[in-house]
Amino acid sequence: MHREKWGTKLGFMLAAMGSAVGLGNIWRFSFVAGNNGGGAFLLLYLLFVLIIGIPLLLTEVSIGRKAESDVVGSFQKLAKGTPWYLTGFFGIISSFLILSFYAVVAGWAIFYFWNYINGSFFTQPAVGYEGAFGQFISHTWHPIAWTALFMILTITIVLSGVKKGIEAANKIFMPLLALILIALAVFSLSLDGASEGVKFLFQPNWSALSEPSIYIAALGQAFFSLSLGMGAMLTYGSYLRKENKLPSAALGIGLMDTFFAVISGLVIFPAVFAFGIDPSSGPPLVFITLPSIFEQMPFGGIIGLVFFFALILASLSSSVSILEVPTAYFMRVFSWTRFATSVLMGSIMFVMGIAVSLGFGIWSGVTPIGEKNILDSMDYIASNILLPLGGLSMALLVGWYFKKSEALESADLSSSSIGGFWYFIVKWMAPILIVLIFLNKIGIIF
């Protein structure tokens, strides 16, 4: 069967950046940083992005480009007769877990957008923003309707083909989102009491480092934010032409994604402290904080409207890359059409999303893992466990199964001075760090 290719390298870059930049940078980054004490978490996160994330991003895209297949097929092709392809199935499971909650949160963002269109969030509702948000997410079917809308949009883009679907929107709205975030950060930093938030984000509380869960949280955030370890970047890489050079692309995507996360932190935390919001409010954090910022800002209503519009588009370019993972796989093995496959996969994810959404209302007592509700449990399994394991498996494939020359060639690093360094990370450092972080969490070492 004929496989699509990106029009240009820029097309790939836009799609991959679109995949990376999304709710992970603003929504997930903020609440995970807030839950894990701020500064120490940020430091670990930046470290992991630099020494594990960006090198493995290059690894993942290289695997896809070399194999020119989906997340299962690529491993079957490159490591014939080995169990490596199981990584692909973990990736597919992750894609279902992630998109089912991603769509719920994106649905919340659409609801906010709607409230800026009709003006009802221009000023604090009688119950306050926190109260209004709480009422909304605990309603039985309202949030599900917005989730459905987001899934329909995602499916529509995927069924019309990745290339046509996303290149154009990203070109305009990513820069727009960046501009708005910078303006919001400037405003947020000018609020009374903002400096507390800056301290929270940039002054590490070293004692937090003795908590094993901070490492796994930072690792999971690095993987989630870079769209790493489940095959989204692999699948996008598989639509690349051989002549496109990868190292600069991986670096650019990684830096861009990190920039969005840090700027979001500078928007959220000064405001969190200025408005007396609890930084460890969990998933609702940005949905409580942002409207309070917009309310104080001149032209805040309009800015809020444009912001949520740009956030929805950023979320769409991420959700599309998640849905593309199982779609590419099932299309190939069963020879289904792109249309039927994406509708079927998206529908299953939507049904799972219903459970996630009810987890904030009538099913709030359902806690699959410890105290975690349905969203937190699915997120934990996917982001903190399956994605790093996927990344580990990809690193081992390229570091140990490939010959060194083959590994360097796959990443376009044969004649580069940083090739040896990258290879060392992929072969030794990243795998060892990931394993140590897991062992530490389980309580086996330290």
What is the contact surface with Na ion in residues (CB under 5 A)? 20, 24-25, 225, 257
**Scanning residues 269 to 328, which ones bind ligand PHE (CB under 6 A)?**
318, 321-322
**Letter for the amino acid at 143?**
P
Task: Tell which one of 11, 22, 300, 388 touches ligand PHE (CB under 6 A).
Answer: 22
> Interface with ligand PHE includes 19 (CB under 6 A)?
yes
Out of 225, 238, 281, 342, point to the residue binding ligand PHE (CB under 6 A). 225
Q: Is 24 in the site for ligand PHE (CB under 6 A)?
A: yes
Task: Identify the residue among 147, 221, 227, 410 touching ligand PHE (CB under 6 A).
Answer: 227
d(C-alpha 116, C-alpha 125), whole Å = 13
Residue closer to ligand PHE, measured from CB, 346 or 419: 346
> Could you give the CA distance from residue 290 to residue 267 in angstroms, rounded to a whole number?
8
Amino acid letter for position 95: S
Please give the sequence-ordered ranges of beta strands (E in DSSP) within 111-257, or none if there are none.
none
Largest CA distance in the chain: 65
Q: How far is CA 147 from CA 106, 109, 181, 442, in A?
A: 7, 10, 24, 35
17 contributes a contact to ligand PHE by CB under 6 A = no
Residues 6+ positions from 400 with CB-CB distance below 8 Å: 427
DSSP code for 79: T
CB of 29 to ligand PHE, least distance (A): 8
Token output for 340: 């039927």
Window of 15-23, 155-163, 204-212, 399-407 that interacts with ligand PHE by CB under 6 A: 15-23
Interacting partner of 322 out of ligand PHE, Na ion, none (Cβ under 5 to 8 A depending on kind): ligand PHE
CA 376 to chain centre: 14
Among 14, 217, 232, 407, binds ligand PHE (CB under 6 A): 232
Vertex 244: Cα angle to 243 and 246 (nearest 5): 130
Residue 437 near which of ligand PHE, Na ion, none (CB within 5-8 Å, type-dependent)? none
Q: In this chain, which residue has its C-beta nearest to ligand PHE?
A: 24
Under the rule (CB under 6 A), what is the footprint of ligand PHE? Answer: 19-20, 22-25, 98, 224-225, 227, 230, 232, 318, 321-322
